[in-house]
Amino acid sequence: MSNPATSSLLPLCQLSAGSMGMVIELKGEGTFRQRVRELGFGESTAVKKVSGKSTIICQVNGTRIALSHDAARQIMVRPSHPPVSA
């Protein structure tokens, strides 16, 4: 049985271009996790995937950052949906 808290998570590299997500978990070695936190990808941070497949362009804290596909694969996000306008 899957854990409901993690069932909606996906790697940042799989987020659709133009979509927003919330960083929930960082995978990989401790040095990798520390480095991406320093870049702004800490847990509970909102991130927007701007574009990319092999190199992922994202926006976090008002800054665009390029990540390799392998790095983006280790940043787990929960996709967020924009509010529906009335």
What phi-psi label fits residue 52: left (phi over 0), alpha (psi between -120 and 50 degrees) or beta? left
13 pLDDT above the threshold of 70: yes
Say what the pLDDT of residue 6 is: 55
Predicted confidence at residue 16, as pLDDT, reads 93
Q: In the chain, what is the greatest distance between 2 CA atoms, to the nearest angstrom?
A: 45
CA separation, residue 57 to residues 5, 13, 47, 64, 68 (Å): 26, 10, 10, 7, 9
Kindly tell me if the per-residue pLDDT of 2 is higher than 70.
no
Which tens digits make up the pLDDT trace of 20-71? 999 999 999 999 999 999 999 999 999 999 999 899 999 999 999 999 999 9
- What band does 84 get if pLDDT is binned at 50, 70 and 90? very low
State which amino acid sits at residue 8. S
φ/ψ (deg, to 5) at 72: -65, -25
Domain 14-79 has CATH 2.30.30.90: yes
3-class state of residue 12 by DSSP: helix
Q: Taking residues 76-84, what's their average pLDDT?
A: 77
Separation of alpha carbons 34 and 79, rounded Å: 23
